[in-house]
Structure 1
Amino acid sequence: MNMIPDTSRARVLVVGDMMLDRYWFGEVSRISPEAPVPVVKVERLEERLGGAANVARNIAALGAQATLLSVVGTDEAGRSLERLLAAEKIDARLHEDPALATTVKLRVVGRQQQLLRIDFETWPTHEVLREKLAEFAARLPHCDVVVLSDYGKGGLTHITEMIRMARSAGKPVLVDPKGDDYERYAGATLLTPNRSELRQVTGRWIDDAELAEKAQKLRTRLALDALLVTRSEEGMSLFQADGMKHEAAIAREVFDVSGAGDTVIATLAVMLASGLDLAAAMSLANRAAGVVVGKLGTAVATLDELKGAC
């Protein structure tokens, strides 16, 4: 039995790339005469918080206090994000960049299957990022755990400095990494790459023993307290100085894995901020991931759903 602590006093600061997830749902009944593609008759539109905003949404859904620090454009998508964040009671500290087009991921869904995704994005300016760094320093004393959600959109240009500042302040730093340059994450408390992301950095492995060897070498080189690898149907593995702990995947029908990584790091952060150790937090994160993969699109595992899964 996984005991869930009182999460109401947990305070998590989330910094990173956020985006607006748009969904066009419709019916597919014919192929276009213009090209061999399906014709989707759109019947319903939906907007959801994506990226770092989805991490914050997951934190709030678990009953904790979420503060989000990010950058948006002065556009319609940015205003939609502000409205959605307010509805979720997330303390959003958004810096506006007039030169930035807020990142939007548009997904076209027919017959409960994603048919197409269209991305709209630009990078924030250096001046706005510097301003965000100053506010990050001001917010540190008021949080228990820091989450840096890197989606490779330029919002975490100063991540190395953020890690140093947070660790100097005695705050655990959890990072959801992106790309193949992990040196910039050196000194973090925990990285949470998925299986394919880790392979980009360490190369492939043939068995669990080789995975453990590669993971521990990376953890040591980057001076991390821990490395958690999410492995899809193989569950997740936590590597620390005293060895490895593995959690098997929760057996249930997988509907959509998008956003599951956000749920994992959010649950880890909330449980650490609530007093659990990493191993216990991972067990609950694994169960929370089992909840969200049974939902369509970016979703959350609520505190009640997590309790029901334990």
Structure 2
Amino acid sequence: MTEFGYFLSSEEFTPGELIDQARRAQEAGFTRLAISDHFHPWNDAQGNSAFVWSMIGALSQAVDLPVTTLVTCPTVRLHPAVTAQAAATSSVLLGGRFALGVGTGEALNEHIHGDGWPSFETRAGMLEEAVEVMRKLFTGEVVSHRGRHYTVDTARLYTVPEQPLPIYVSAFGPKAAELAGRIGDGFVTMTPDADLVGAFREGGGGKKKVVGGVKVCWSSNRDNAVDTAHRLWPTELLPGELAQILPTPAHFEQASELVTREMVSDAVTCGDAVEEHVETVRAYARAGFDEVYVGQIGPDQEVFFDAYRELVLPALRG
């Protein structure tokens, strides 16, 4: 049975707005939360980038829902040992209701130390080693590690969860999906691609969880909703590896000039047609996803939560 969660966008909303959305999501009947981990927003129109670990601490005191990062890069901006400490503390605060979604990252967030941006093959190797380091630290034992990418010297986490902390690995292609199946406890991908889910399961994923997310813009005025989505999230439609290699919001704004309003209208679920929202989310269930997180674009959060509580979630569960 697919679970339906709410996606908190750290790039688009202030910390206070994110906490309010989490409370509204719980009241509306969403059963889980996901939250993005960014140093920069994708563009200046989004205008935010709260520190995810502070936000998770606040969420643990505000709501009772499980929380998953979608996704954290544990390889460059933060050393995997530091990420492991943050994740372990988050899991303890949430009573074990935390999952660490990880990925190979984007230059947008990870270039800030001034190092060169590695190739995908190098980043995948870094991620695999980072996951190994974090799993060792989650045991609460003393860890020393000398690897190709990371060194850990007699480190021990004293605050660790009682139960194993699941690590879900993000992937957008077959090779990465196989890596996720081999090293992850679950798979994160943002499109309802049954073939990619199959590659994950055949690559070692078996019956492990598959997790995804989608952005919509609920509004009684579809034209306004399309305008809002086009202004705030044209980056969702950038092709290929651009999302991984462009280093600044200004570069994303330049690339987004290629994304037309019509492209957004065709690709993003906008407006208040209940059946369209239901179908958008249900596509993930049909593709074999265990969890799907829906994020509302723009300021009309109250009408979104009302509509999903009264109309969309009941239809999905019915």
Q: TM-score, normalised by structure 1?
A: 0.32
Q: TM-score, normalised by structure 2?
A: 0.31
